[in-house]
Structure formats: structure tokens, C-alpha cells
Homo-oligomer: A and B are copies of this chain.
Amino acid sequence: MAIEPDLAWLRDVEHLRALPQRYSRAIDERNIDAVATLFHPDGVVDGAFGLLPVPDYITNLRTAERVFDRSMHVLGDPLIDLLPNDDTGRMDTYAVVYQLRPEGSTEADLVLGMRYVDEVVRHHGNWVISHRKTTTLWRRPWPG
């Protein structure tokens, strides 16, 4: 049964809003299986590893050398562009990412200002990211 368009839109917006929060918890817990569920299998991620198909991005997450002890991805509310009755949308999310050294380390933590611009699609009844463009707006300390 069809539901009222505004109501469907609001429900979709809530599900979209949860996506970046699920991402941050999954990535910070290094639960890569959980990260994988948030992306479309035919999608693309343009980020720290360059432009990669989602399966390669996920593989890289599993195998990348672990430089920092832990991370915390603190995300602002996404700016959501979604038309009623649409199956694709766009999200734009600010993040401050803390990449943390183990306790007692004398090396500096890394703090990054990031922006995720995501194309999202409905896939098997769930919203997933089909294209992610990650931009590093700043990082401290300076590279090099």
C-alpha cells in the first residue's frame, strides 16, 4: 500500500540521516563488514585511496596498514537533498576525524577536517552510498 508522499519522504530522510552515523561507528570499531553494508556493491569511493570501486575500497580498508591506534569520526548533521518519491539523493556531511596515537605516545595525533559528498540510492529497500567523494579540508599537524 502506498503511503502519503510527505510521510515517505520524512521516513527516507531519517534513514539517510542514520547512514553517516552508522559509517562512523563501523569505521571507528574497524568493523569493515558493517562498513560494506553501507555502500552499493557497484558503487565508487573517491577518497584516501584514490578513486576505487567499492569492493576494492573495502579490501583496502581490511588490509591497509594500521598507522594509528584508534579513530573517532565526529560527524555533523548531513545536508540532505532528496525529492519526494525519488530513489536517489545527495548528502553532504562535515566531519572532524581524530586519528589517535596509543596512550603515552610522543608523536602527535592527526586531526582532519573532512567533507563527504555522497550520492545515495535505494537498494533492496535500504539506502546505500553509490558514490562518495571525500575531501580533506585541512589536517593538523601539517603534512611533511
Contacts and interface: CB of A to CB of B under 8 A. Distances in A.
B104 A142 contact: yes
Copies in the complex: 3
A96 interface: yes
B76 A94 contact: no
B7 A100 contact: no
Contact of A14 (B10, B76, B96, B137): B10
Contacts of A80: 18
A21 B100 CA distance: 26
A137 to B, nearest CB: 6
30 contacts: A3-B6, A4-B7, A7-B7, A9-B11, A10-B10, A10-B11, A10-B14, A18-B79, A18-B80, A20-B77, A21-B79, A21-B92, A24-B94, A25-B79, A28-B137, A70-B137, A70-B138, A72-B137, A74-B74, A74-B113, A75-B76, A75-B77, A76-B76, A76-B77, A77-B77, A96-B96, A98-B113, A100-B138, A103-B142, A109-B140
